[in-house]
Amino acid sequence: MLIKVLRSKIHRARVTDTHLEYEGSITIDETLMDGAGLIEGEGVLVANLNNGSRQETYVMKGKRGSGIIRLNGASARLAAPGDLVIIMSFAYLTPEEAKGHKPRKVIVNEKNRIVRGP
């Protein structure tokens, strides 16, 4: 049996932009991706602290050091620039593996710069 556990998260990132006329995804500053251990194309859950929405999408690499957090396509309808979001990835582990698992947590400031975490 496998259980779903939190693998990593970027906590309280600020949405910098939305782009409705795009095929979908979330664009994330590559520095933040590295900090959270996210890879391009990986599925994530985005929880919006401003409106309570939760959406699944996939990660696209944004310019390193830009601080970009852009929701694209249909996801753009669920956030506005300035909204705070938590971006989470998950993994399936055995219960034994899960006991020793420690998720990677990245906390950012208002400019989406890492202030705590890897």
Q: Which two tokens stand for residue 83?
A: 């909204």
Q: Which whole-number Å values give the CA distances from 39 to 1, 33, 43, 77, 89, in the listed order?
A: 26, 7, 9, 24, 10
Kindly write down the DSSP assignment for every residue of 19-50, as one continuous string. ESSSSSEEEEEHHHHHHHT--TT-EEEEEETT
Looking at residue 24, its pLDDT comes to 79
Would you call 110 helix, strand, or coil by DSSP? coil
**Span 3-93: which CATH code?**
2.40.40.20
Residue-averaged pLDDT of the chain? 97
User: How far apart (Å, rounded) are the C-alpha atoms in residues 32 and 23?
Assistant: 22
Q: Each residue of 18-32: pLDDT tens digit?
A: 999 987 799 999 999
Task: Out of 8, 22, 53, 58, pick the active-site residue.
Answer: 58
The catalytic position among 25, 53, 75, 89 is 25
Active-site annotation holds for 25: yes
**90-116, pLDDT tens digit by residue?**
999 999 999 999 999 999 999 999 999
Q: What pTM value is reported for the model?
A: 0.96
